[in-house]
Each structure stands twice: as C-alpha cells, then as structure tokens.
Amino acid sequence: MAVGQGNGAVAARAVEALTEAEAREELARLAAEIGRANEAYHLLDAPEISDADYDALRRRNAAIEARFPKLKRSDSPSDQVGATVAEGFGKVAHRVRMLSLENAFDDADVADFEARVRSYLNHSGPLALTAEPKIDGLSLSLRYEGGVLVQAATRGDGEVGENVTDNARTIADIPHSLTDAPEVLEVRGEVYMSHADFAALNTRQAEAGGKTFANPRNAAAGSLRQLDATITAARPLRFFAYAWGEVSAPLAATQFAAIARLKALGFVTNPLTTRCETVAAALDHYRRIEADRAGLGYDIDGVVYKVDDLALQARLGFRSATPRWAIAHKFPAELAWTDLLGIDIQVGRTGALSPVARLRPVTVGGVVVSNATLHNEDYIAGRDSRGQMIRAGKDIRLGDRVQVYRAGDVIPKVADVDLSHRRTDAQPYVFPDTCPECGSPALREEGDSTRRCTGGLICPAQAVERLKHFVSRHAFDIEGLGAKQIEMFFRDADLAVKAPADIFTLAERDAANPLRKLKNRDGFGEVSTRKLFAAIEAKRSIPLDRLIFALGIRHVGEVAAQVLARHYGTWEAFEEAVTTAEEGSPAWEGLLSIDGVGRTLAGSLVAAFRNPAERAAIDALVAQLTVQPVVWKAATESPVAGLTVVFTGTLEKMTRAEAKARAEALGAKVAGSVSAKTDLLVAGPGAGSKAKEAAKLGVRMIDEDAWLALIGDA
Ligand code: IVH
C-alpha cells in the first residue's frame, strides 16, 4: 500500500521489504500523486493534501529511490524543486542582457582588476570606484514605461528570464509608478529576505506543517517564483536596486549619482554604498562591511566594486558574460571538516578523468555537501601542476578527515587533510591509468595535470557527455532534451541516441518502431513527445557559431566558436579551411591569423576533423542540418560591418583590446595578420612589417584618427 492521504496515516510497507517490481509501481504512483498535489497547490490554489502529507510522499519517494537508484524515473519528483513550477511562467527576452560578475577572492585579485581596467583604458589618472554589499538573493529586472511598472523578470540565463510581474507587484519595496523617470527605465536589483523575516516564515511554515527553507536565499527564490502571486504576497520579500538595463535617457554621469537618482525615484538602495577615490579606500570599505556583516540582518556574500565614471564603464563594456567595469570581492569561503568516504572518477566530455570526493554529508554555509572536487591526481598527491608542494605536501587518502569549502555557487572543494585522524593502515590513493568507463588507456600529456581517456567516441562516458554538451543551453539548446533525457536516450536500445545526428533521426525512427514508442515510456506521453520532436525540428536550422561550439572540440569554447564563425561566415568555408589546414599550409596560416586562435586551439580543431570517427559523426550531423551563415549584427548601421580589420603599431587614444572590442561590436572582424582578405589596416606609429605587407597587397591603410572618424568616435 502506498502512503495514505488526508490525516497523514502512513500504511506503507517498509521500503526494505519492497520487491523491485513493487518499488517501480509505487514510484510511478508517487510521481503521479505528487504531481497532482503540486498542480492543486500551485495552479489551482486548492491544496488537496496537507503539507505534512505532501512531505511524507516526497520522503517516501526519496527513500525508495535511495534503495533502488536504477528505478529513479526521468520525471522523478526529487528533481523538481518543491515550490517552483518554472514551466508556468512566461518568458521575457531581456533587451539588455543580465550579466553576472567576475569574482575576486583577495586583495591581489582586486589589484589585478584595477590593473586590467587601467590597461584596457590606458588610464593612469584617478579611478574612483563604488563599493557596496553583494546581496545574496536573486536578481530581478523591473521595466517602467512612462513611469509605470509594466514588467518584472528574473535573470534566467541572462538573455531570457521568467515573467514574474504579478509577484513583483506584491513586494513593498518595488514602486508601481514613478514620477520624473525616463520614458523607459529598467531598474535592476536583488530580491532578498531578511534574517528576521526568514526565521518567522520558517516558524509559521513549521507550525502549519509546511515545508521550511534551508536559507533566506532559497526562501526568497521559492517565494518569488510562485505561480500564484497571492503566495508571494504573503512572503516578506524585499528589494535593493543597484543597477539598470535599458534606459531612454542617462540616469547620471556616475554610478554613485545614478544610484542616488534611483533612490530619489523611490527605490530602496543599499545604505552601505559608497564612493571610493582609490582601490585602497574600497578595500577599507570591504573590511568595514565584513566586520558589520553579522549585524546587517540579511545575507551578503561579498562586496561589489564598480568603476564610478559611467563614460569609462561604457568604454570598458562587457566580456561574454561579465562586465569589465565591475568585480565581486567575495568573503572568505565557508569551511567544514568531514570524512572522505570514497573517490569516484568521472570521465568528462574531453576524456578528462576527474576525481570526485564522496563525503559524509556536512553542512557548509547552509548547504549540505556530499561531493566535492579533488581536481586531478597531482592535487590528491599534494602537488600542483608544476610539481610544487601544496598542503605542505600532504596527500589525500580514503578514510581521511578532510576540510571542505564552498565559495559562492562554485563546486565545493576539498582543501586540506587532518593527518592526526589518519588510520595507520591508510594507503596512498592510486589514480587509475585506464578509463573506468571504457578501459582505454588514460594518459597525461606533458605539462598537463589531467589524465585523459584515449577512447574518444568509443568511450560511452565521453560520448554521453558530448551529447549533453551538444544539447546544452549555449549549444543546440533543445527544449525538453536535457542531461537526464540524454542519459536515457543514450542507454535505450530502441532510441539509441549515440551521436548528435541520431537526435535528428529520432522522430523518424520512433515512428517506424511499432512496439516501444517514446510516448509510452515513463516520463513521456503523447503531448510531451510531440513537443520534444517539434523542439528538435526547430533546431535543424542552427547558427554557425552554435554548431561549432556544440561539436564539443577541446579548447573550442563559446568565444572561440563565435570568433571562428565570424571569420569564416559559412559552414562550407569553415569546414574547407579546417580540413585543408595542415601545418604550414595557407589554410593553417589563415586559421592562425584569426585574433583569438592560437596553435593549441587550431591543432585541436584540425585533429578533430582528421579523426575518422569524429569526422564521420560531424558529417552525419551536418547532413541533418541547415547551418545559418553569420549575419553581421550591425550590418546596416555600421560603416565597418563585415570588414576585416588589422590593427598595428601604437594606438594612442585607446588600447589594442579596446579597439578590438569596439570594432567587433560594430560588426568588423579583427585579424591578427595582414592577408589578401584584409580590408583595412589601422596603423599607429611604429607600424612595421604589417604596413609593408598591406602596401604590397594594396590594402587600404588609415591612422587611428581616421579610424575613429570612420566609426564615429572622433
Ligand atoms: S551588479 C552587470 N551589484 O550578483 C552586473 N550585482 O554574481 C550587474 N548581486 O547577477 C550586477 N548584489 O544578482 C550587482 N550590489 C550588487 C549586487 C549584485 C548582488 C548579484 C546579481 C548578479 C550576481 C553576480
């Protein structure tokens, strides 16, 4: 019998007594029952069972899964965050991306930040910064049009967030209307919950037999992302404004004044925001905030520094995911000691063998940690990648008492080991030299701490990780096809998704299979299968840069993929270049002439295309696709869009990095060397061989001032 409803009577059989068949059946029933309860609670606002019964169902489900891990369903309630039904929110495309921040962990990192800013701008004068607490909540973007709040959206992946307008309207700190605001104003900031409100909420929840939250951040997130805004309204959320997105008129000339303006408009801004004339002053403020941290009444996890001058911010601009003009100086990580129960070796997409510590679960900074990374075999042995001692040379052995730390949202790490707890019979850990997944030799390259499986695509772990990468957010991003489904489709003999091309033949193969149709399997149904096939179909046409990134070739990250796509423009041109690029050939030189492509990356690309198995997989995939050529973003507006530009000599008004970023933002390609394909050489004083080459080839040459005039920055 399953868990009883209503009064919480549990007439269930002990989990230990269940047979596999019974367990499977009960997991199916629990998934349905919990699903119904979720729907009743979140969508219909008509809870059918008490929170205590609901929790009992989830606990029973988890207990059965723990005993029969193999039976865990792809739609397991354990993988669904209790309070949130994310599919229910509409999507909002952010007009200005919502970025994250680069982190600094000590004063030296902050000094590096300043040095990078100065070097990028070639700026040696005063450089004021603002310093303010980094609130540990979740970010929210509020859009006002004509002074009226029209939309609120979560960050999501930075480009597309969730529409939580109704919920945001219930937060007292968020004004519904503004006077004297720009026509369009997007205010960004953090939704959070105070310690006192969090404690009171948890008490109320516990008294009502409801679920309690692990920390204020989770409580804030769970409360904001409620489909039913009346639930949000009953939760004490707050909001600090600290940034902005789209604005129809500038708020001010400095960050500090802009924040003051937001305050004047009626937003709550953090009172600990200050303007610091120097980095030293900013570091002083960091220490003051750190000292006051416990008494603030809300969680913060560091201090954010921002370049105060907004004109400098605009020049600094953004990298792919973070602004160059800001950094988060994190507070030291939280630490805890626990036992190392085992070491698992995970095999990644590029064959890297990564040791993962299995730990006796321990709470580190409010989160239960049971796994942590051990980096690589040298790290376990007590050496860094150059053979230097770390941890005073102490190695890590099974059964050891180890120190674990967590900094921000990064993966927990094992930092130290307590030798006084070591068992006398503990043996040094022997790192495998064959792949635990496919048995192929696992080798280390000269100067590399990582041991890699040499099995390539014959290694099931590499193959499946590649597939996960292939469907991931910045690659093909196929809705409804995530890591979990990939695992299932890979292992299932009928579905047999072994390589990317198989994803695009799935619908056809499923239609031809009379017996085991996808729609009849656990976690799938008529509608979800139809949706999945439609989502796959929609990605048959794919932008070139996404395709290159999705191939998962070592060293070819998102930025490199964009650079390559922009350079070659079409799949045909890219493929031809990489296929014919032998060391020393014109195609090889062409590849190396691309700014941002070095020998390692080029070598890795060429090797992948030359490997017969890889090549066959790529060809089979491309045969299924329509690859969209690169469209120049600013093509119609910018006079340099589509041109290949080379900078040489000394630039006096801007640094090389700034010039390159600016040119690319205007749709130009920036190359590292002059060739017949170069359209324009921008030459400063001291230009040498590149200028000669350009003259020889008849390439148009201009100086820095002419360049600035051309792009309208003069
Ligand atoms: S500025 C373009 N200021 O930290 C950068 N972010 O780790 C805009 N955060 O996504 C962010 N307190 O959610 C900024 N005072 C603060 C912040 C802050 C918290 C969050 C924000 C951001 C994340 C990055």
pLDDT digits (tens, 9 = 90+) for 580-623: 998 889 899 989 988 888 899 999 999 999 999 999 999 999 99
Q: For residue 141, how far is its CA from the centre of ligand 1 (angstroms)?
A: 11
What is the distance between the alpha carbons of residues 673 and 592, in angstroms, rounded to a whole number? 9
What is the distance between the alpha carbons of residues 61 and 23, in angstroms, rounded to a whole number? 9
What atom of ligand 1 comes closest to residue 132's alpha carbon?
A: 15
CA dihedral 310, 314, 320, 322 (to 10 degrees): -10
What atom of ligand 1 comes closest to residue 323's alpha carbon?
A: 2
> Which residue has better confidence, 672 or 546?
546
The pLDDT of 120-148, averaged and rounded, is: 96
Task: Judge whether residue 75 has pLDDT over 80.
Answer: no
Q: SS3 for 552? A: coil
Q: For residue 648, how far is its CA from the centre of ligand 1 (angstroms)?
A: 37
The pLDDT of 653-670, averaged and rounded, is: 85
Q: Does 192 contact ligand 1 (Cβ within 6 A)?
A: no
pLDDT one-digit tens code per residue, 150-190: 999 999 888 889 999 999 999 999 999 999 999 999 999 99
Predicted pLDDT of residue 688:
86
Q: Does 329 contact ligand 1 (Cβ within 6 A)?
A: no
Predicted pLDDT of residue 55:
67
Task: Judge whether residue 6 has pLDDT over 50.
Answer: no
Residue ID of nearest Cα to ligand 1 atom 21: 139
Q: Does 269 contact ligand 1 (Cβ within 6 A)?
A: no
Residue ID of nearest Cα to ligand 1 atom 2: 99
Predicted pLDDT of residue 210:
79
Task: Judge whether residue 314 has pLDDT over 90.
Answer: yes
Q: SS3 for 127? A: coil
Most ligand 1 atoms within 8 A of CB, residue of 102, 129, 135 to mutate:
135
Q: Does 140 contact ligand 1 (Cβ within 6 A)?
A: no
The pLDDT of 446-456, averaged and rounded, is: 91
Predicted pLDDT of residue 410:
64
Task: Judge whether residue 366 has pLDDT over 70.
Answer: no
The parent domain of residue 388 ranges over 335-443
What atom of ligand 1 comes closest to residue 133's alpha carbon?
A: 15
Q: Is residue 417 part of a domain?
A: yes
Most ligand 1 atoms within 8 A of CB, residue of 132, 190, 191, 217 to mutate:
190
The pLDDT of 202-207, averaged and rounded, is: 89
Task: Decide if 162 contacts 205 (C-beta within 8 A).
Answer: no
Q: Does 304 contact ligand 1 (Cβ within 6 A)?
A: yes
Task: Judge whether residue 46 has pLDDT over 60.
Answer: no
> Is 70 exposed, middle or buried, given 0-12, 13-18 or 19+ CB atoms closer than 10 A?
exposed
Task: Judge whether residue 652 has pLDDT over 90.
Answer: no
Q: Is residue 1 part of a domain?
A: no
Beta strands in 439-573 (DSSP E): 442-444, 451-453, 541-543
270 with 321, same domain: the answer is: yes
The pLDDT of 338-355, averaged and rounded, is: 96
What atom of ligand 1 comes closest to residue 326's alpha carbon?
A: 5
Q: What is the CA radius of gyration of the chain?
A: 28
What is the distance between the alpha carbons of residues 71 and 69, in angstroms, rounded to a whole number? 5
Assign residue 33 the CATH number of its domain.
Answer: 1.10.287.610
DSSP calls for 308-373: SBHHHHHHH-B-SSSBTTEEEEEPPPEEEEEEEEEEEEEE-TT-BEEEEEEEEEEEETTEEEEEEE
What atom of ligand 1 comes closest to residue 99's alpha carbon?
A: 2
Residue ID of nearest Cα to ligand 1 atom 23: 100
Predicted pLDDT of residue 407:
65
> Which residue has better confidence, 214 or 271?
271
Residue type, 347: V
310 with 353, same domain: the answer is: no
Pick from 518, 539, 560: which residue ends a domain?
Answer: 539
User: Any residues with CB less than 8 A from the CB of 162 and at least 6 apart, and which?
Assistant: 86, 89, 90, 91, 92, 153, 154, 156, 225
Q: Is residue 636 part of a domain?
A: no
Q: Is residue 193 part of a domain?
A: yes
Q: Does 101 contact ligand 1 (Cβ within 6 A)?
A: yes
Predicted pLDDT of residue 87:
56
Q: Does 190 contact ligand 1 (Cβ within 6 A)?
A: yes
483 with 560, same domain: the answer is: no
pLDDT tier at 714 (50, 70, 90 boundaries)? Answer: low
Q: Is residue 112 part of a domain?
A: yes
pLDDT tier at 51 (50, 70, 90 boundaries)? Answer: low
Q: Does 198 contact ligand 1 (Cβ within 6 A)?
A: no
User: Any residues with CB less than 8 A from the CB of 259 and at least 6 apart, and which?
Assistant: 130, 241, 242, 269, 273
CA dihedral 238, 242, 243, 247 (to 10 degrees): 70
Q: SS3 for 590? A: helix
Task: Decide if 565 contacts 543 (C-beta within 8 A).
Answer: yes
483 with 399, same domain: the answer is: no
Residue ID of nearest Cα to ligand 1 atom 1: 243
Assign residue 430 the CATH number of its domain.
Answer: 2.40.50.140
136 with 23, same domain: the answer is: no
What is the distance between the alpha carbons of residues 285 and 301, in angstroms, rounded to a whole number? 14
Assign residue 678 the CATH number of its domain.
Answer: 3.40.50.10190
Q: For residue 138, how far is its CA from the centre of ligand 1 (angstroms)?
A: 9
What is the distance between the alpha carbons of residues 38 and 226, in angstroms, rounded to a whole number? 12
Q: Does 556 contact ligand 1 (Cβ within 6 A)?
A: no
What atom of ligand 1 comes closest to residue 136's alpha carbon?
A: 19
Pick from 79, 102, 128: which residue ends a domain?
Answer: 79
The pLDDT of 292-306, averaged and rounded, is: 93
Most ligand 1 atoms within 8 A of CB, residue of 94, 96, 134 to mutate:
134
User: Any residues with CB less than 8 A from the CB of 692 and at least 6 apart, and which?
Assistant: none
Predicted pLDDT of residue 335:
86
Q: For residue 553, how far is its CA from the centre of ligand 1 (angstroms)?
A: 32
Residue type, 630: V
Q: Does 365 contact ligand 1 (Cβ within 6 A)?
A: no
Closest CA to 358 of 347, 370, 369: 370
Predicted pLDDT of residue 672:
87
701 with 649, same domain: the answer is: yes
Share of the chain above pLDDT 70, in %: 93
Most ligand 1 atoms within 8 A of CB, residue of 113, 138, 242, 255 to mutate:
242
Q: Does 187 contact ligand 1 (Cβ within 6 A)?
A: no
Q: Does 243 contact ligand 1 (Cβ within 6 A)?
A: yes
Question: Which of 377-391, 528-542, 627-641 bottoms out in mean pLDDT, i.e. has the lowest?
Answer: 627-641
Pick from 330, 359, 387: which residue ends a domain?
Answer: 330
pLDDT tier at 82 (50, 70, 90 boundaries)? Answer: very low
Assign residue 515 the CATH number of its domain.
Answer: 1.10.150.20
Residue ID of nearest Cα to ligand 1 atom 22: 100
Closest CA to 302 of 140, 105, 444, 115: 105
Q: According to the 3-state scheme, what is the secondary structure of 421-459? A: HCCCCCCCCCCCCECCCCCCEEEECCCCCCEEECCHHHC
> Which residue has better confidence, 635 or 672?
672
What is the distance between the alpha carbons of residues 151 and 164, in angstroms, rounded to a whole number? 8
190 with 294, same domain: the answer is: yes
pLDDT tier at 630 (50, 70, 90 boundaries)? Answer: confident
Predicted pLDDT of residue 89:
85
pLDDT tier at 3 (50, 70, 90 boundaries)? Answer: very low
- Mean pLDDT, all residues of the chain: 89
108 with 241, same domain: the answer is: yes
Q: Is residue 321 part of a domain?
A: yes
Q: For residue 303, how far is its CA from the centre of ligand 1 (angstroms)?
A: 10
Task: Judge whether residue 1 has pLDDT over 50.
Answer: no
Assign residue 128 the CATH number of its domain.
Answer: 3.30.470.30
Q: For residue 179, how far is its CA from the centre of ligand 1 (angstroms)?
A: 26
Please state the domain count of the chain: 6
The pLDDT of 211-223, averaged and rounded, is: 86
Residue ID of nearest Cα to ligand 1 atom 15: 134
149 with 213, same domain: the answer is: yes
Most ligand 1 atoms within 8 A of CB, residue of 304, 316, 320 to mutate:
304
pLDDT one-digit tens code per residue, 377-405: 999 999 987 888 999 999 999 999 999 98
> Which residue has better confidence, 2 or 325?
325
Task: Judge whether residue 130 has pLDDT over 70.
Answer: yes
The pLDDT of 331-357, averaged and rounded, is: 93
pLDDT tier at 45 (50, 70, 90 boundaries)? Answer: very low
Active site residues: 134
Q: Is residue 635 part of a domain?
A: no
- Residue located via tokens 């100067």: 447
The pLDDT of 230-254, averaged and rounded, is: 95
308 with 396, same domain: the answer is: no
105 with 210, same domain: the answer is: yes
Predicted pLDDT of residue 209:
81
Q: For residue 134, how far is its CA from the centre of ligand 1 (angstroms)?
A: 6
Q: For residue 614, how far is its CA from the centre of ligand 1 (angstroms)?
A: 41
> Do strands 680-683 and 669-671 pair parallel, antiparallel, or not at all (unpaired)?
unpaired
Task: Judge whether residue 500 has pLDDT over 60.
Answer: yes
Q: For residue 498, how far is its CA from the centre of ligand 1 (angstroms)?
A: 40
The most confident of 93-97, 257-261, 586-590, by mean pLDDT: 257-261
Task: Decide if 663 contacts 630 (C-beta within 8 A).
Answer: no
399 with 277, same domain: the answer is: no
Token pair listed for 121: 């701008």
Q: Does 77 contact ligand 1 (Cβ within 6 A)?
A: no
Q: For residue 289, how far is its CA from the centre of ligand 1 (angstroms)?
A: 16
Q: Is residue 637 part of a domain?
A: no
